[in-house]
Amino acid sequence: MKSVSAREAKYNFGKLIDTARAEPVVIEKHGRPVVVVIAVEEFERLAGQAMPERQLDKSEKKN
């Protein structure tokens, strides 16, 4: 499991997302773990339920 500082997570958010899709990432603040970022599939497995489907807003809908 990878660990990164909150600052690193903030400035490299895209990389954080990519990494979290492959493995959990611990975010540390002042050297202490505070949150874990995980892929939605892993969250669904742990929670035992699927996430609700995101509804498209009007700007995303195709005509």
User: Residue 20: what pLDDT?
Assistant: 97
Residue 39 token pair: 């892929």
Residue 21 domain flag: yes
Residue 17 domain flag: yes
Domain harbouring 35, CATH code = 3.40.1620.10
Distance separating alpha carbons of residues 8 and 41, to the nearest angstrom: 24
Average pLDDT score over residue span 8-31: 97
User: Residue 57: what pLDDT?
Assistant: 60
Residue 63 domain flag: no
Q: What is the pLDDT of residues 25-62, one digit of tens each?
A: 999 999 999 999 999 999 999 988 877 876 556 665 55
Residue 56 domain flag: no
47 CA to centre of own chain: 15
Domain range for 39: 2-47
pTM of the model: 0.75
Q: Which residue has the tokens 């509804």?
A: 55
User: Residue 48: what pLDDT?
Assistant: 87
Residue 62 domain flag: no
For 62, phi then psi, to 5°, come to -90, 145
Closest CA to 34 of 4, 10, 11: 4
